[in-house]
Structure 1
Amino acid sequence: MATEKRNYKRVMLKLSGESLANDKGFGIDPEVVYRLAGEIKEACETGIEVAVVVGGGNIWRGLKGSQGGMDRASADYMGMLATVINSVALQDALEKLGVSTRVQTAIEMRQIAEPYIRRKAIRHLEKGRVVIFGAGTGNPYFTTDTTAALRSAEIEADVMLMAKKQTDGVYDADPKFHPEAKMFTHLTYNDVLQKQLAVMDNTAITLCMNNSIPIVVFNIDVPGNIVKACKGETLGTLIEGE
């Protein structure tokens, strides 16, 4: 079991859309966004390069739309646009705190953000800018978890940090309904796949496994946890190879 502190140079932070909504479950809570931005700023001040992928579930979920009878591709494109709204909100909060930030989108919308260009994204990170990736992969049928895994591989991130609401890590059962549920501190990629643990979709897990990108699942509701995760402190559940 790996419990020692790890030193990361470049991290991918995956935020759910719901994390921006606080307890409302929908919309954007400015106070929460500023708290998250403050923690990202603190991590950057330690010299860590931070990239971010934000979900869009606080505004729209493509899968839910398709289940309601909407064309799946159309519903997913709407979800991608929702992630851009969240990305711009986070960018605004970061820049008000003095953090240089760039939003790059997989779907071109030049008046709002830069198009995603891998080399440009890496250059921004090297210059100390926070890069927020919006619009998913630009393709329907892929989640923002898969986006985060894909971008992690492309920018050669040292770790993928999965910030979760109302949970400290990965459990063997849903602790909301099973108070006796046990939290794992360490798992392998194969453990997650074989035990069908609801960490992220299988495509994202497989991408991380194939590219040897460790994943840390932690509780975003606890102030200071983003900084701790970025600094490699022992936190939540670590998922890595054998």
Structure 2
Amino acid sequence: LSAGINGGEPDRARYIAYLVPGLLLMTIGSTVIGTAVSVANDMTEGIIARFRTMAIHRGSVLIGHVIGSVLQSVLSVILVGAVAVAIGFRSTDATPIEWLAAFGLLALFALALTWIAVGMGLVSPNAEAASNNAMPLILLPLLSSAFVPVDSMPGWFQPIAEYQPFTPAIETLRGLLLGTGIGHNGWLTIAWCLGLTLLGYFWATAKFNSNAK
């Protein structure tokens, strides 16, 4: 695959097709870091304290952050996808249902990472700490199958790369858009997304409520 960087047009097209699903999910990871920073700023600058004096539902502050972040992630993915198409990415084999499933996967993954980012923002003492705490959301894709297949990695590292959240999601997205095999990656992706969403939700709400006391 890496030969496509300096190879002919067919190799280049294959490598672009291989990269794009990983880049789309990396875009989500990068985008939600801003959510962690934004939540930390709101907590340290007194904005949340002002909201608590108003007649609004306590959880609406967090939900607002989550909805805004998911929408921002979706827009970022659309922008990166447009650039990918401009440089040669094509998904001619995907059916409308597969495109819809791919979009749903990206939105679900964005929701899961957003709740984790909200929790990171709530436990951070300032915006700089929130940005540092959220760095794994950028680093994990680099340790996945985003750029090279898992079976080309050192044997001791393959289980780490294969079963972390990004690799199953990347392989599922490749399967939907490019027609490659999905196997058990679809179920792993759903399990990771649901697990991270629940973890982030209960973590964030528990921390938010404890700060309100």
TM-score category (smaller protein): 0.3 to 0.5
TM (norm. structure 1) is 0.30
More helix per residue: 1 or 2?
2
TM (norm. structure 2) is 0.32
Larger Rg: 2
Higher relative contact order, structure no. (Cα contacts within 8 Å, ≥ 6 residues apart): 2
